[in-house]
Amino acid sequence: EEHLVESGGVVVQPGGSLRLSCAASGFNFDDSSLHWVRQPPGKGLEWVSLISWNGDFIYYAASVKGRFTISRDNSRNSLYLQMDNLRTEDTALYYCVKGGFYYMDVWGKGTTVTVSS
């Protein structure tokens, strides 16, 4: 069964940094594009970033560009999100998601990031 498990969510102060991780199993990780999607409290789904199977193509939402960095390690079946210069509006449940440009077919259960002083 295809499985994604996120980790690394904590409480951090504004301006701080954090790295989220996502461990994958049950599918060909190095053939798959992957996303980070977040849901702020009481709000809808918000796409964050996409990385291609080999890391050659990377895309970011305007709200995180220049502050967040997506990366992957195909030898470890792992996806990462380095989050720098965090803002209170980055507070959200962050999902790791398998999928390409047009659909996202496997979702993790998410990890919670809280940015607060």
Partner 1 sequence: QSLLTQPPSVSAAPGQKVTISCSGSSSNIGNNIVSWYQHVPGTAPKLLIYDDDQRPSGIPDRFSGSKSGTSATLAITGLQTGDEADYYCGTWDSTLSVAVFGGGTKVAVL
**Is residue 59 involved in binding partner 1 (CB under 8 A)?**
yes
**Is residue 30 involved in binding partner 1 (CB under 8 A)?**
no
Looking at 13-21, 22-30, 71-79, 103-111, which segment touches partner 1 (CB under 8 A)? 103-111
Can you tell me whether residue 114 is helix, strand or coil? strand
Least distance to partner 1 from the beta carbon of 44, Å? Answer: 4
Residue list 71-100, contact with partner 1 (CB under 8 A): 95
**Kind and range of the H or E run holding 6:** strand 3-7
Q: Which is nearer to partner 1, 35 or 77 (CB)?
A: 35
Least distance to partner 1 from the beta carbon of 45, Å? Answer: 5
Looking at 19-27, 68-76, 78-86, 101-109, which segment touches partner 1 (CB under 8 A)? 101-109
CA distances from 34 to 22, 30, 43, 75, 116 (A): 10, 10, 22, 15, 28
Partnered with residue 72 across adjacent β-strands are 79
Q: Pairing between strand 68-73 and 46-51?
A: unpaired
**Is residue 46 involved in binding partner 1 (CB under 8 A)?**
yes
CA–chain centroid gap for 84, Å, is 13
Closest to 85 in 3D by CA, of 66, 57, 111, 110: 66
The residue ranges that bind partner 1 (CB under 8 A) are 35, 37, 44-47, 50, 59-62, 95, 101-105, 107-110
